[in-house]
Amino acid sequence: MDYRFKAIEQKWQKAWKTKQTYKVEVNPDKPKYYVLDMFPYPSGAGLHVGHPLGYIASDIFARYKRLNGYNVLHPMGYDAYGLPAEQYAIQTGQHPAITTARNIARYREQLDKIGFSFDWDREVQTCDPAYYKWTQWAFIRMYNAYYDYDAAQAKPIEDLVKAFESNGSYKPGQQVALLNVACSEEMAFTAAEWKAMNEEQQHNVLMNYRLAYLGDSMVNWCSALGTVLANDEVSEGVSIRGGHPVEQKVMRQWCLRISAYAQRLRDGLDNVDWTDSLKETQRNWIGRSEGAELVFKVKDSDSSFTVFTTRADTIFGVTFMVLAPESALVSELTTAAQKAEVDAYLASTKKRTERERIADRRVTGVFSGSYAINPFTNEAIPVWISDYVLAGYGTGAIMAVPAHDARDYAFARHFNLPIIPLIEGADVSEESYDAKEGIMMNSGFLNGLTVKEAIERTKTYVADNKLGRIKVNFRLRDAIFSRQRYWGEPFPVYYKEGRPYMLDEKDLPLELPEVDRFLPTEKGEPPLGNAKNWATSEGYPLELNTMPGFAGSSAYYLRYMDPHNDQALVDTAVNHYWKQVDLYVGGTEHATGHLIYSRFWNKFLYDLGVVCEEEPFKKLINQGMIQGRSNFVYRIKDTNTFVSYNLKEAYEVTPIHVDVNIVSNDILDLERFKQWSPDYANAEFILEDGRYVCGWAVEKMSKSMYNVVNPDDIVERYGADTLRLYEMFLGPVEQSKPWDTNGIDGVNRFLRKLWSLCTSEEDFSFSNAEPTPEELKALHKLIKKVSWDIEHFSFNTSISAFMICVNELATLKCNKRAILEPLIILLAPFAPHFSEEIWEALGHTDSVCDATWPTCNEAYLVEASINYPISFNGKTRFTLELPADTDNAAIEAAVMAHPASQKWLEGKNPKKVIIIPKKIVNIVV
RNA sequence: GCCCGAAUGGUGAAAUGGUAGACACGAAGGACUUAAAAUCCUUUGGCCAUAACGGCUGUGCCGGUUCGAGUCCGGCUUCGGGUACCA
């Protein structure tokens, strides 16, 4: 009987739908398991064969867990807001909601064909008001919260107001130490001063502490496009799209105080099962450095400023100070004599993005005219301004120690500033000595100490003499949360007297309004400025910005737990059942974006008591990228003649991409090529052995390379089960690899071979005979291997194991129920349609999804004899079959008695004989 | 520059420190067939040798540890990914 995959797959996809096979509910009687894929952005191009790779892996795991008795949550949805739909809307006038819905429908159709075990009743779309209601809700909660470092927790802003009322911004009962809370800038005021403030002043003060706050940040502003651009959208001072001028501008935008969580985001990495490289990437991104803040007085002035340093021990080598050009101190410290020069410098840096400033390592800078006083030596040191210091990190000012910092060194050399070595034996004539090793010199009371000791001594000195304070700094910056776009979540914010206020939670969701055009307004406002009546019922104007892409993806995993709840983001009892994502599968490209934001978002909700787990994603697997494998034809210059790959050297040729879908095993289908484009209708060919052989290369999978392979085409030709198997068979999931449809026949043959074991000419056919030890061994070897492999996400090797087992059973002509039934359960996670069909044929009325995973009986695996490799000096020379229970002495005797041994001993006595029982024998001569 | 990862046949790849190349694809030869498809069998890292047995060599490069290294350690090379003057 033929394996008719099309009919089988349609039959079971329909059955699963009607029987709601994949519907899942909270069930306290079963252990839970939550398997999640990073949800896709539904692009207009549809899925290509690379997208389902991670989904197939997670689906196998989800099905495996279910077979092992778990209640498995395995949902899917769409990250539906995004720029491509908006861009398309600007070009065509087509509303992004319409294109997005169309793309989602197409994705769904493609996903359905692959046979995933998603519970579609739980689908979420980030652009659905019922969904983004909870994104807006979380934003309001962040606005109404501040972060208490001492409690390491977010708290309601009312608590902070109470603290201000009783003791100002100082710690309870103190007038010196400030509250240890996250803020944009340190503010010192008493309770009396707080109470004396008017509403607007208090409003502004609180904004300094809120977790969602309006803040000033430096952005790449493009007035022609009416929007802020990311660093990689700008080059040489103009926008990449359109080439419009871009300038650095301070803009007031919504920000999330994610930096408050830096320490916890770092610490939390110790409690998740992610790869070390991914955790390391996050640690670097968070970037913790321990150091000291030192206060420097300005010479001949009452003012002073603070710098952050991790090398306070090098204070005796400070020969100049540097301010970031954006620093507020610049105008304060620039003297009249230097003003013109400084202004010119500021104007030139303003044109360049931060990235450009960083990328080219030209040394630039200007002297401010002022001097600072070294608090340790009381010497006057010049204050410079240079763009190698960033306003956004530390205090935007540094003390420069050219002898021991490469950047300071380059600067000192360029401007001829003194370089004082502080470590014995360090040669700083050519480059700085940056290592934290050696014995101090030229450093007053630190002389003779090691660098490590000096760092500690300096810290104590700074604290004792009140010259500054010990501080931990993080690289992680607050997230800018405003976008000048249409297609995103509206902020639940309105403005009264220019001040922002949150909508009442009961008025959520605030739905995205209709606009007649998706571009900025004439006045340069964001697209929402085009909306009519975009105001509260009282007439207060609503926020015109929308939220960024990561807003909707930061808590979607929680919403899947309870997707239809309109009273809460997620019900507490439901959250306590599903807890967190046990397995998260997605690409590495989200390492520092989504995976930081959602951890932050989750921790915030945890502080609020909304969720019970502090980390959202317990285990994470990164699937590799599927690259394209392009094919080429070679056209002889100035002709319409194409020469086959191995003959092309004799001609001058132009390689041309050819659609991989008209090439098979690198052999071009000539007829289809002629039809492919009118240009080639009259093409002529120089063939080798009557065939046209194409060249190939691994490139990105993209339309322009004509190497896109569509999963629908594969399903059409081979079936979904073959596609699933082949995607997994290609290699380890984490590894990137090119897609090459050549080779898919192998897994397809495997399925057909197994099918023919289960069938006769006309019908299914199983034997009820007792299995032989050989058959049992083949099966139990497979059970052991597949179970281990799935647990370790090594799906490619399990498929090999299936092939080996089926090859063995085919040789044994085994169609015994006792063997095939467990085998089908093992195969069910990989090839669900195929397995359901056989499972039904075996007489079952329930789904194979609810079978029980077989267990391996080691007794069947015991080998009676071992084929020992016999090696001499580590080189295997022959093998020797011995009973498994032969002891070492007997093994040695048997080896020595073997005629081949005499040859390799060459008459010498063995120095040593190493016998590893059941493994190997090695004779050292 | 820094951090992370990788490198094994014509191709995708496999190998708790223990017979390198399992399992597949492709290729070559053969069986069945009027023919083709499908299926089945044989060979397939390289070199040498051959009637046959066989021998040498081989996991990016150079060293080291070990009875034994694709695997562990040190030093490189190349490629891929991330990051970007973080004081």
Domain ranges of chain A: 145-209, 288-474, 626-716, 863-924
Asked if the Cβ of residue A306 lies within 7 A of any atom of strand B, the reply is no
Q: A435 CA to B75 C1', in Å?
A: 21
Asked if the Cβ of residue A484 lies within 7 A of any atom of strand B, the reply is no
Q: How far is CA A472 from the centre of its chain?
A: 26
CB A732 within 8 A of CB A794: yes
Number of residues that this document lists for chain A:
925
The whole-angstrom separation of Cα A681 and Cα A685 is 12
What is the reported pLDDT for A369? Answer: 92
Residues 407-436 of A with CB under 7 A from strand B: 407, 410
Which nucleotide in the DNA or RNA is closest to residue A870, CA to C1'? B19
Residues of chain A with pLDDT > 70, as a percent, come to 98
> What is the signed CA dihedral for A207, A211, A213, A216, rounded to 10 degrees?
100
User: In this structure, what DSSP letter does residue A55 have?
Assistant: H
Q: How many CB atoms lie within 10 A of CB A667?
A: 13
User: Which residue type sits at A916?
Assistant: I
Asked if the Cβ of residue A329 lies within 7 A of any atom of strand B, the reply is no
- What are the pLDDT digits (tens) for A748-789? 999 999 999 999 888 899 999 999 999 999 999 999 999 999
The three-state secondary structure class of A550 is helix
The whole-angstrom separation of Cα A439 and Cα A425 is 9
Q: Which residues pair with A546 in a beta bridge?
A: A483, A490
Q: A916 CA to B16 C1', in Å?
A: 14
- Let me know the angle formed at the C-alpha of A103 by A101 and A106, rounded to the nearest 5 degrees: 110
The reply to whether omega before A509 is within 30° of 0 (cis) is yes
Asked if the Cβ of residue A262 lies within 7 A of any atom of strand B, the reply is no
Which nucleotide in the DNA or RNA is closest to residue A391, CA to C1'? B86
- Let me know the angle formed at the C-alpha of A357 by A352 and A361, rounded to the nearest 5 degrees: 145
What is the reported pLDDT for A232? Answer: 66
CB A250 within 8 A of CB A215: no
The whole-angstrom separation of Cα A361 and Cα A782 is 58
Tokens of A749: 């043959």
User: In this structure, what DSSP letter does residue A320 have?
Assistant: E
Asked if the Cβ of residue A727 lies within 7 A of any atom of strand B, the reply is no
Asked if the Cβ of residue A803 lies within 7 A of any atom of strand B, the reply is yes
Which nucleotide in the DNA or RNA is closest to residue A361, CA to C1'? B85
Structure confidence at residue A147 as a pLDDT band (50, 70, 90): very high
Whole-angstrom CA distances from A707 to A536, A694, A746, A822 are: 51, 13, 21, 40
Mean pLDDT of A66-88: 94
- What are the pLDDT digits (tens) for A881-902? 888 888 888 888 888 888 778 7
Asked if the Cβ of residue A914 lies within 7 A of any atom of strand B, the reply is yes
Query: What is the crossing angle of helices A744-758 and A817-827, to 10°?
Result: 150
Cβ contacts of A234-242, under 8 Å, gap ≥ 24: A234/A353, A234/A355, A234/A356, A235/A356, A236/A356, A237/A351, A237/A352, A237/A353
Mean pLDDT of A383-402: 88
Asked if the Cβ of residue A719 lies within 7 A of any atom of strand B, the reply is no
Q: Between these two residues, A452 and A490, which has the higher pLDDT value? A: A490
- Mean residue pLDDT of chain A comes to 90
Tokens of A556: 């979607």
Look at the alpha carbons of A589, A593, A596, A602 in this order and tell me if their dihedral is positive or negative: negative
The whole-angstrom separation of Cα A238 and Cα A234 is 6
Q: A67 CA to B4 C1', in Å?
A: 36
The whole-angstrom separation of Cα A734 and Cα A585 is 10
Q: A738 CA to B6 C1', in Å?
A: 15
Asked if the Cβ of residue A742 lies within 7 A of any atom of strand B, the reply is yes
Residue A232 burial (C-beta neighbours within 10 Å; 0-12, 13-18, 19+): exposed
Residues of chain A with pLDDT > 90, as a percent, come to 54
Q: A901 CA to B56 C1', in Å?
A: 19
Q: A284 CA to B83 C1', in Å?
A: 8
Q: How many CB atoms lie within 10 A of CB A358?
A: 13
Q: What is the DSSP string of A192-211?
A: HHHHHS-HHHHHHHHHTT-S
Which nucleotide in the DNA or RNA is closest to residue A918, CA to C1'? B18
Which nucleotide in the DNA or RNA is closest to residue A740, CA to C1'? B12
Which residue matches tokens 């007085």? A297
- What are the pLDDT digits (tens) for A483-513? 989 999 999 999 999 999 999 999 989 999 9
- What are the pLDDT digits (tens) for A182-241? 998 889 999 999 999 999 999 999 999 999 999 887 777 887 777 787 766 776 667 767
- Give me the phi and psi of A902, to 5 degrees please: -60, -40
- Decide if pLDDT at A405 tops 80: yes
Structure confidence at residue A917 as a pLDDT band (50, 70, 90): confident
HEC string of A671-729? HHHHHHCHHHCCCEEECECCECECEEEEECCCHHHCCCCCHHHHHHHHCHHHHHHHHHH
Cβ neighbours for A309, distance < 8 A, ≥ 6 positions apart: A291, A292, A294, A315, A398, A399
- Decide if pLDDT at A267 tops 70: yes
Structure confidence at residue A626 as a pLDDT band (50, 70, 90): confident
The whole-angstrom separation of Cα A147 and Cα A356 is 34
Structure confidence at residue A514 as a pLDDT band (50, 70, 90): very high
CB A240 within 8 A of CB A233: yes
What is the reported pLDDT for A357? Answer: 62
Q: A923 CA to B64 C1', in Å?
A: 23
Domain A863-924, second-level architecture: Roll (3.10)
Domain A288-474, second-level architecture: Alpha-Beta Complex (3.90)
Which nucleotide in the DNA or RNA is closest to residue A738, CA to C1'? B12
- Let me know the angle formed at the C-alpha of A238 by A237 and A243, rounded to the nearest 5 degrees: 165
Which bases on strand B have an atom closer than 7 Å to a protein beta carbon?
3-5, 11-16, 18-20, 22-27, 38-41, 55, 67-69, 80-87
The whole-angstrom separation of Cα A365 and Cα A698 is 45
Structure confidence at residue A589 as a pLDDT band (50, 70, 90): confident
Mean pLDDT of A440-458: 88
The whole-angstrom separation of Cα A662 and Cα A165 is 76
| H-run or E-run covering A892 | helix A888-897
- Decide if pLDDT at A424 tops 90: no
- What are the pLDDT digits (tens) for A46-60? 898 988 999 999 999
Mean pLDDT of A911-920: 85
Q: Are strands A865-872 and A920-924 parallel, antiparallel or unpaired?
A: parallel
ipTM of this predicted structure: 0.93
Asked if the Cβ of residue A743 lies within 7 A of any atom of strand B, the reply is yes
The whole-angstrom separation of Cα A409 and Cα A436 is 16
Asked if the Cβ of residue A700 lies within 7 A of any atom of strand B, the reply is no
Q: Between these two residues, A708 and A436, which has the higher pLDDT value? A: A708
CB A89 within 8 A of CB A486: yes
The three-state secondary structure class of A758 is helix
CA atoms within 13 A on the CB side of A256: 24
- Decide if pLDDT at A547 tops 90: yes
- Decide if pLDDT at A682 tops 80: yes
Q: A590 CA to B81 C1', in Å?
A: 12
Residues 873-912 of A with CB under 7 A from strand B: 873-874, 876-877, 879, 912
- Give me the phi and psi of A655, to 5 degrees please: -75, 135
Which nucleotide in the DNA or RNA is closest to residue A393, CA to C1'? B86
Tokens of A103: 């793309």
The whole-angstrom separation of Cα A487 and Cα A80 is 9
Structure confidence at residue A477 as a pLDDT band (50, 70, 90): confident
Structure confidence at residue A261 as a pLDDT band (50, 70, 90): very high
What is the reported pLDDT for A837? Answer: 96
SS3 content of chain A, % helix, strand, coil (to 5): 40, 20, 40
User: In this structure, what DSSP letter does residue A842 have?
Assistant: T
Q: A315 CA to B74 C1', in Å?
A: 37
Q: A436 CA to B87 C1', in Å?
A: 14
Residues 216-245 of A with CB under 7 A from strand B: none
Asked if the Cβ of residue A398 lies within 7 A of any atom of strand B, the reply is yes
